[in-house]
Amino acid sequence: MLMSYGPENYVGAVIAITGTLYFQGGHTTERRQAIAECFDAYKDLAGRNLKWLWREEAPSGPPCQPYNKASPLREMFNKLDEDDLLNFHYTSGIKRDDASMYTSFVNAPRGWKARKGEKLSVLRFSLPYLDIVEHPRRFQEMFVDFARLLDAEHGHGGFGFVLSSSKWDQDQPTEAFVARRVAGLDIGEPTFMASALTPDTFKTVGWLTAINERMVEAAGGINALRSELPPAWFAFYDYGNGIVIQAGNEPDIATKELDDKPPIYVLPNAALRSLRSPEQWLHIDNLSKDPPRLTGAAGDAWMQRFDVPDEALLDVKAKLLDWPKLTPAHTLDSAR
């Protein structure tokens, strides 16, 4: 409805709980095995809901096929060499173009591109919000387990937009429109953002924020982070190559009408701000008359949406005292 050509007969965007992890070596056999293990775990939970598999530059067959007719993921991996593009997107929409709440996506650059410097691969998975209400630790378990399997460099999880696999470009204005009013939503195309990031610069904080050990040290070390992020509200999980920080019991959608700078996000953002990427590639530039996207200064503003002046942090910490504290039902036993 935001576009000049009006509404179309498919679901262009949904809001789900998304987890995004950036890692290196997606072209290698070892890392592809880890990707397959992540999908096995996701499939065990959500496989009955999956309906479609989309592939970019599939070596054979159509770009989209029904999930129940697709070959097993490992079998498809075995037909790829290191210099083939690895791009798989499993979705659960009724129509193949529909955005959906159950999704599993992975993209890894070709081996020769990775060796030339395009280092980061990306994996994203999503579940409906109702799932974390009914199973308040399951998403965190998956996020931490996947980070460990992938040796993730960094990542984030919480409320996020999921766009149509095939028509995401024309649905980005919808994403931009809502994102200006709802700060707690992750937005942007994961593959493009992966090309803008480095192994030691992250995209955003969220309900779950993963950073590697080098980033932990660059932020002052684990003790410094703990002093800024008190354990009554923030849990720390070790995943081997780094830590995951959980901010609160559940993700906060952070609307402008209520509070678009919740302390549960502002404080980790302040603690890690020096490690945030100075570059962003959230949306594609569009020179048409269609509504604007989050590019240029608008994209930078989204990246900085939780920033506050240093002198305001004491007030933010005071606001945190009124925030619900973590409960055992919402935190993992492996908290450090």
CA distances from 304 to 44, 209, 270, 279, 309 (A): 37, 16, 10, 12, 12
pLDDT(1) > 50: no
CA distances from 143 to 5, 24, 43, 190, 303 (A): 38, 17, 14, 16, 22
pLDDT(329) > 50: yes
Joined together, the tokens standing for residue 225 give 């982070």
Mean pLDDT computed over 32-46: 98
What confidence tens digit (pLDDT) does each residue in 85-96 have? Answer: 999 999 999 999
The verdict on residue 7 lying in a domain is: no
pLDDT(203) > 70: yes
The verdict on residue 259 lying in a domain is: yes
| Helix, coil or strand: residue 244 | strand
The verdict on residue 242 lying in a domain is: yes
Mean pLDDT computed over 315-320: 98
What confidence tens digit (pLDDT) does each residue in 17-28 have? Answer: 999 999 999 999
pLDDT(296) > 70: yes
Evaluate if pTM is beyond 0.75. yes
Percent of the chain with pLDDT strictly greater than 70: 96
| Amino acid type, 49 | N
pLDDT(3) > 60: no
How far, in Å, CA of 14 to CA of 199, rounded? 29
pLDDT(336) > 90: no
How far, in Å, CA of 57 to CA of 214, rounded? 35
Percent of the chain with pLDDT strictly greater than 90: 86
- Computed over every residue of the chain, the mean pLDDT equals 94
The verdict on residue 246 lying in a domain is: yes
What pLDDT sits at residue 291? 67
Q: Domain range holding 272? A: 15-330
The verdict on residue 9 lying in a domain is: no
Q: In what helix (H) or strand (E) does residue 91 lie, and over which residues does it extend? A: strand 86-91
Residue with tokens 């700078």: 261
Mean pLDDT computed over 124-132: 98
The verdict on residue 162 lying in a domain is: yes
Task: Look at the chain and report how many structural domains it folds into.
Answer: 1
What pLDDT sits at residue 287? 60
| Amino acid type, 116 | K
Joined together, the tokens standing for residue 188 give 């942007």
pLDDT(292) > 90: no
Could you please report the per-residue DSSP string of 40-65?
HHHHHHHGGG--EEEETT-SSS-SEE
| Amino acid type, 99 | A
The verdict on residue 282 lying in a domain is: yes
Helices (H) and strands (E) in the chain, counts: 12, 10
The verdict on residue 240 lying in a domain is: yes
pLDDT(69) > 80: yes
* Contacts of 215 by beta carbon, 8 Å cutoff, 6+ apart: 154, 200, 202, 242, 272, 275
What confidence tens digit (pLDDT) does each residue in 95-113 have? Answer: 999 999 999 999 999 999 9
* Contacts of 320 by beta carbon, 8 Å cutoff, 6+ apart: 230, 233, 263, 264, 267
> Higher pLDDT residue, 115 or 31?
31
What's the pLDDT band for 335 if we cut at 50, 70, 90? confident
> Higher pLDDT residue, 119 or 134?
134
Mean pLDDT computed over 186-203: 95
